[in-house]
Structure 1
């Protein structure tokens, strides 16, 4: 097979491991900076052009689209789809997952358990918004935040009110969510490929830190999921239309609740913690499912 990995940074761990996994299995693998691509949008002969040459003959692509480049990145993925190239994650699914509000609405429609969440435009009824999630403590999130950036734990009502007013004063879109205290600053990252969870790890936040992101100093270890947690993860990925996804769960008193569904989950943390060849599993999925045209 001829596989393209859409990534702006070929030296990143995830990109390198996907290249190595593909080459080890006898495939031709090329890393393409999607921001340097441009497109010829025609009905009969759509093209993606890179460094002056039309990208042709690819059987599959693996999008690794950065959160800040979602609009252009998904446009490139969509162009490959027009050309009949199989993609590990469809463009529409990537867009859905990147819009946190839309993501939560789709999950809620499927009956998947979530933290109680509020969303509003106006600051004229902050009291009502806070009461929607049963008051403080609560978590305030920027819709565009990633890796724990733009996530604030407001432990008191007055703090929550001040943070919401500050964010809205900057015209930032925010979500207000209940704080799942019983999770103890830990979450579960479930790595879904196809319709299966192939690896899972528990991420624990650093002391005094409620965010469990490894980029924030958290630690990770392999975890065994319950059947309910496994089902929640696969249903969440399916609701987004994602074939490869990182689903983040919290263990609450009412069962697993979904915090986020990630369309470009990092591989280093999950492979290091679980010793599972996740990149190899992704290539195997392409082998079974990619059909040219």
Structure 2
């Protein structure tokens, strides 16, 4: 099939090609659920095709039986980029305490992630900023803000003290009450101070990205679905996620409520794969297919006959 999925017309050609391969009539195909996978652009193209054919009284002319699954990796990359841009800040202003400031302090190149070049590096930088902020919060709470003497042995904590510090840090900085108090402090009419509120908001947003990344690596689709539920709400107010604010909740409702329990489980557990077969090496299926597509385009086709489309058509 040489049809492209980069437009509504291309999506229509793909669907027609599937009908020709299955040898089903349009009416027979409309009676069955058709599950397709793609990125957000493919999802929007399918919605455009639906809008062009709405309203209609003929089910064989409507793609209403098609259920599109968003790729887990593309969802992570796009949401992470939008969140990183939201909290990145202005690097030309030394008083701006955005994420760039923490990256500069850590000695990491703090380029604004406006282009889609290296998502792995972007998420790694977000994790560094997040962990450095948590460490700073813990140091502030225990009162050890002075630099340690490198000649002294590192202190050791027992489990009870460590648990007490973690509980104290959560209650004072990460609990819902702490965030509400910080928001009230930021909205004071006389002397507003939004620094703490912005920090806690950034910690919450970055934590969702890191949790989603770790859930995907471990193959835990349940944790990933919980993060997607949070992103469905967060996307309503984050610039650049207006499409995800519409389509991500739709996919969640279908995956968790509308479809039959057996089909829900099959589709949920088909979104993450482990190509090597090792534990904790799961990736999104769309990520794995992107890698294979890269090999096809830039290695086989550039260096030999490879997957030349005309050669495949003649075969």
Q: TM-score, length-normalised on structure 2?
A: 0.31
Asked which structure has the greater CA Rg, the reply is 2
Q: Which has the higher strand share?
A: 1
Q: TM-score, length-normalised on structure 1?
A: 0.32
Q: Which has the higher helix share?
A: 2
